[in-house]
Structure 1
């Protein structure tokens, strides 16, 4: 059992380490989202939907400091959910956290709607436009009217020089912390396998999904964040 906990701790630390290199300002991003949710939700009880909850960073960033918030997280990766579950336990959040392996379509059938939702670093792993749209529409359906949603995703025109320049900067962060040149070059090829679309197209997807008052609030390297309302 101790070995299992040690392995989860190591995996958790590795995931967070790479995330912080990949997304400069990673911790500030979570603080900004927390501030946005707090401004919208006040001091009341609130239920938060986390789409892509594997890794559990939302839980550790928001759960400890917002005792009236409860969390429902979905993620298709069993291993990543194990890390999220480990973090929930370490932070004393077990009674306020429900984790579900699968997609948003695997949420239990219920009439309950959520008070807020996040989808952080997920959308760019979905290839087809209609699948991206379906995900965002499903999130919209799960929210109470007018409630806040935050989306964070990679963005950019795939064949543009602008995106290639940003990828070079992204690679430089990994070189600066000691990653081998060959590995970083391979990472540059791998990153092109994700589904890049422009920031204008992401905002179009949000509008088509029914979200309003769309505001881009965060930009860092390859990634950007938008806040909006159902």
Structure 2
């Protein structure tokens, strides 16, 4: 994630992230848990594995769930936002798995590619990257750090928000369901839209993945604009 995208995730946003993200994404915890389940189904839950987690700052839900399923899995977690990475580290420590997770402040391109990973995860990042080229670059950087055949879980918003006004209205109503006022809803929706640039369609996601040498996309979770897919490195 570039610095200007990462700057949105400051200390204020980090402090409210755990609650706000679970409202913004209906099924937030289910997505993270299913990510762990998909990895375990592909890798085998009892086999050793090194897993790269890109944009790991926040709840670290995908790491915590995966560590429960894969007792022999280790993780490298990278994020360019220091407040968000610190939040993840606190949650990882509370889960008692800090010896299995190496947290790095920076971008995926900062991680050496000489020792390829057995799997990778990137949740909630792609739609914050402006332009198709930046999205393609991040996916390529992940791809070259994976073993052939390795699974990669990608999750985030797809489809332009303006293309689905009914989904946008439902999204706003979800905030109302959780007690937000009309002015509060406007503020929340404005924050969601701030700097967001989701791929225009699922087909666009698949095209980006294919160009980065990923194949066989399988969507295993969906929620309004959000999708989660498992693919394999060619």
TM-score, length of structure 2 as denominator length: 0.87
Q: CA deviation at 1:191?
A: 2.7
Whole-angstrom CA distance in 1 between matches of 2:73 and 2:16:
27
Alignment-derived partner of residue 77 in structure 1: 81
Unaligned runs of 5+ in 2: 1-11
Query: Which of 23, 29, 34 is equivalent to 2:36?
Result: 34
Whole-angstrom CA distance in 2 between matches of 1:12 and 1:69:
27
Whole-angstrom CA distance in 2 between matches of 1:189 and 1:164:
15
Kept after mapping to 2: 8 A contact 1:64/1:93:
no
1:175-194 correspondence runs (5 A): 175-193=176-194, 194=196
Distance 1:13 1:66, change over 3 A: farther
Q: CA deviation at 1:182?
A: 0.6
Alignment-derived partner of residue 9 in structure 2: none
Q: Who wins on radius of gyration, i.e. which is larger?
A: 1
Alignment-derived partner of residue 5 in structure 1: none
Query: Which of 48, 51, 59 is equivalent to 1:48?
Result: 51
Kept after mapping to 2: 8 A contact 1:147/1:229:
yes
Whole-angstrom CA distance in 2 between matches of 1:86 and 1:118:
20
Distance 1:78 1:13, change over 3 A: closer
Distance 1:104 1:70, change over 3 A: same
Query: Which of 24, 27, 49 is equivalent to 1:25?
Result: 27
Distance 1:165 1:47, change over 3 A: same
Larger CA deviation: 208-217 vs 58-67? 58-67
Distance 1:188 1:110, change over 3 A: closer
**Count of matched residue pairs:** 218
Q: CA deviation at 1:165?
A: 1.4
* RMSD (CA atoms): 1.8
Unaligned runs of 5+ in 1: 1-9
Q: CA deviation at 1:187?
A: 2.5
